[in-house]
Structure 1
């Protein structure tokens, strides 16, 4: 089933997309072009003849403060740049696709405590028992995380350098820094993604 869902009909680009030359060896790119607190989201496949748009454009939301040059804890802005898309999680059943998927529930968190050795990573612990500050962290069992793709923002987990950046189901309003879009559009992208894909935010 997943393999069939990866078959799409490319629309050839008339000009090189804005991320061309900035994504290294990646051949799958999710481009996010910001417009204030909204964004246009497209999926692109690279080949010998250049880039083809294979899904989108979709409309979505970004941070309530728009975009920012870098991620900072507590600032609801989406960081500019190119980041890996390595895994998917969610409260729903496996969506299909080639990226690893982890189903989450009430004991799943994203550690947002900058003093914690597990800052900016997925952790599992019952509420009230976690070794990090739960008040600075996110419980992952929420409607917007029915499906979410982890964005590799602050992959080095530098304290204060931002965490919990995902591409997830839209709640219909700007985010705390994530990229969100309609469920069906997100699933189209998730089922197309393969290891090595990146997201390019401009």
Structure 2
């Protein structure tokens, strides 16, 4: 199984203005000469009351440290928590994980979903890296207590790090096992052909031993808890328990996944994931 490694991934200052207050000095007039026939002296003029100095203008407010983004800014929003993922679900994401593939169904009985790949930066903030992409999941929807044959997809946060398929490796950095055993035939629940569904797959670490080919049959929780839950090529209808993506989308996801980022899949109906 070849493993390809690759690397993943204002200051503004306000100006304060000061005003100088200028003060003027009044002069006193000289005394008038005394006439021969003196007249009663005139009353001295009442000096005018000086006006108080004008108040200094208020200093200008400093500019904000970070300017608001311009209208139409297309940069993705970054957040400390993945959108739609509540605190309880978020707490299940491993500390070292910086890549999360989120699969969200509308309700617990939905067999269609929307998917988005998120990545976390060095500051711990998540941003949308790829998607959204449509997907199918199990015929009867979702369950938090999956068992073999219940036709529901497990809810939870699971690691994803092993891949394979009938076709050659499209450039994945995770281990990829090309094998003819991934060939499949038959029809799906809507009568659609299943051929080519496992041309590329990504194993979801539900009831399996990580680090092995997706074809491995060991079930640590027991066979009754199901297994073989994959992300695979969409055949145009609901699945037994897997998540299915369009062929081109799956190949894009395969190439994007980076084992150094410890990727996980977060999947379930929106009300559950929001907890």
TM > 0.5 fold call: yes
Q: Secondary structure at the match of 2:116?
A: strand
1:126-141 mapped onto 2 (5 Å cutoff): none
- Does the 8 Å CA contact 1:10/1:54 hold for their aligned counterparts? no
Question: Is structure 2 residue 142 aligned with structure 1 residue 72?
Answer: no
SS at match of 1:95: coil
Tell me by how many angstroms 1:148 deviates.
0.4
User: 1:65, 1:13 → 2: CA distance?
Assistant: 34
Q: Which has the higher contact order (CA 8 A, sep 6+)?
A: 1
Length-normalised TM-score, structure 1: 0.75
Change (3 A) 1:84 1:49: closer
Aligned to 1:153: 206
Aligned residue runs from structure 1 range 104-143, under 5 A: 104-106=179-181, 142-143=195-196
In structure 2, the partner of 1:144 is 197
Is 1:24 aligned to residue 94 of structure 2? yes
With normalisation by structure 2, the TM-score equals 0.56
Q: Deviations over 1:76-116 (max 9, x none)?
A: 1100001111211101111112100001114x69xxxxxxx
Distance 2:99 2:125 in 1: 12
Bigger share in strand: 1
Give 2:157's match in structure 1, choosing from 82, 85, 99.
Answer: 82
For 1:91 and 1:29, the matched residues in 2 are separated by: 25
**Taking structure 1 as reference, are residues 49 and 84 closer, same or farther at Cα in structure 2, changes over 3 Å only?**
closer
Separation in 2, partners of 1:14, 1:45: 11
Measured on the aligned residues, the alpha-carbon RMSD in Å equals 2.6
Runs of 4+ in 1 over 3 A off after TM superposition: none
* CA 76–60 in structure 1, closer or farther in 2 if over 3 Å, else same: same
- Aligned mates of 1:49, 1:100 — CA distance in 2: 27
1:174 to 220, 223, 238: 238
CA contact (8 A) 1:153 1:165 kept: yes
Q: How does 1:5-84 map to 2 (within 5 A)?
A: 11-13=76-78, 16-17=81-82, 18=85, 19-25=89-95, 26-35=97-106, 36-47=110-121, 48-84=123-159
Aligned to 1:190: 254
- After superposition, the Cα gap between the structure-2 partners of 1:13 and 1:40, relative to the gap in structure 1 and judged at 3 Å, is farther
Q: Which residue of 1 aligns with 2:265?
A: 199
- Mark the runs of 5 or more structure 1 residues left unpaired by the alignment: 110-140
C-alpha distance 49-157 of structure 1, shift in aligned 2 (>3 A): closer
The size of the alignment, in residue pairs, is 168
